[in-house]
Amino acid sequence: MADEPSEPILELRGINKSFGPVDVLKRVDFSAYPGQVTALVGDNGAGKSTLVKCVSGTYTIDSGEYLFEGRQVHVHNPRDASSLGIEIVYQDLALADNLDIVQNMFLGRERLKGIVLNESSMEQSAQETLASLSVRTVKSVRQRVSSLSGGQRQTVAIAKAVLWNSKLVVLDEPTAALGVAQTAQVLDLVRRLADRGVAVVLISHNMNEVLQVADRIAVLYLGETAAQVARSEVNQQQLVELITTGGLGTDRPGATNGVPA
């Protein structure tokens, strides 16, 4: 929004994280910019999930710098992250099936009138948010989440991030379980989210999807940053090479670390 697109809203420098003897993240650098979709890609075990959990405060980093809006911050738990304006939309969505859409979108941050829940205020805001994202697939915000399709659930989870005016939204494999039409809808929503000035981080295994929607691409390889490039700088072949070997052509920084057979 007001932020200069050239200034990253989130900047991670030299992040290290290990679990006992296993170094999962090694000097990882990562940036995300307002109004842009930054794809975070990498093979299984490359450290994507760990990196996201460090961003969200589920894990605390061992060392390295965590800068948000240019200032160094310490994120020790998910609450710290959400008070900064960071929202993570998890792969398993973290929605309560027995609650309706409004109740899920406001979960943990309910609006009150005295000690009583202010249902109509919450319902109106939820409706407005979905409308502002041009979501038409959801008819009533009072239907239970258990009655929603995968795409609709994803939509609710993303709308939740918008509702809370999040500055950075991390989407963990949002289309992994979706069919063609719903994937298109969700990617459309991802784009609209970025167009509102939100910094979007998209974790995905799907190359086509990444190349279609991302503005920037960050590649992790065996716990290290293999590349951070603009979408225009790579083609699909190069991207696949970065993911599988950690480098391009003869330059293979990851090869010395021992590629599993």
Partner 1 sequence: MTTPESPTTPREPDVQTDAANERAIVASTAPVEGGTTDYLRNYVRRLRGGDMGSLPGVTGLIVLAIVFSLAHPQFHTIFNFGNMFTEGTATIFIAMGLVFVLLLGEIDLAAGYTAGVASAVMIRLMVGYNWSWWGTIPAALVTGLLIGFIVGWLVSKVRIPSFVVTLSFFLAFQGVMIYIVQNGKGQKGDIRITDRVVNAFANEQMPKWAGWFVAALVVAGYAAVKLLAALARRRQGLAAEPIGVNASKIAVLAVISFFIVYLLNQNRAPNKNPVAQNVNGKIVFVKPSIEGVPWVVPVLLVLFVAGTFVLSRTRYGRHVYAVGGNEEAARRAGIAVDRIRISVFVLSGFMSAVGGIMIASNVQSVSVANYGGNTLLLAVGAAVIGGTSLFGGRGRLIDAVIGGAVVEVIQNGTANLVNGQNSSAVQFIAVGLALLLAAAVDALSRRRAGSTGMG
Cα(163)–Cα(106) distance, rounded to whole angstroms? 9
Give the interface with partner 1 as residue ranges (CB under 8 A). Answer: 78-79, 82, 90-100, 103-104, 107-110, 112, 115-117, 120, 123-124, 137-140, 142-154, 177-179, 181-183
Pairing between β-strand 168-172 and β-strand 224-230 as defined by DSSP bridges:
unpaired
Residue 13 bridge partners (DSSP): 65
CB 224 within 8 A of CB 43: no
Place of tokens 């409706």: 127
180-195 and 150-163 helices cross at what angle (nearest 10)? 10
Closer residue to partner 1, CB minimum distance, 54 or 226 = 54
Please, what is the minimum distance in Å from the beta carbon of residue 124 to partner 1? 7
Please, what is the minimum distance in Å from the beta carbon of residue 164 to partner 1? 11
Closer residue to partner 1, CB minimum distance, 117 or 248 = 117
Please, what is the minimum distance in Å from the beta carbon of residue 155 to partner 1? 11
Q: How many residues does the chain have?
A: 261
Query: How many Cβ atoms are within 10 Å of 58's Cβ, its own excluded?
Result: 15
Closer residue to partner 1, CB minimum distance, 107 or 240 = 107
Q: How far is CA 101 from CA 6, 71, 140, in A?
A: 36, 35, 8
Please, what is the minimum distance in Å from the beta carbon of residue 43 to partner 1? 21
Please, what is the minimum distance in Å from the beta carbon of residue 191 to partner 1? 20
Closer residue to partner 1, CB minimum distance, 28 or 148 = 148
Structure token digits, residue 190: 């991802």
Closer residue to partner 1, CB minimum distance, 145 or 219 = 145
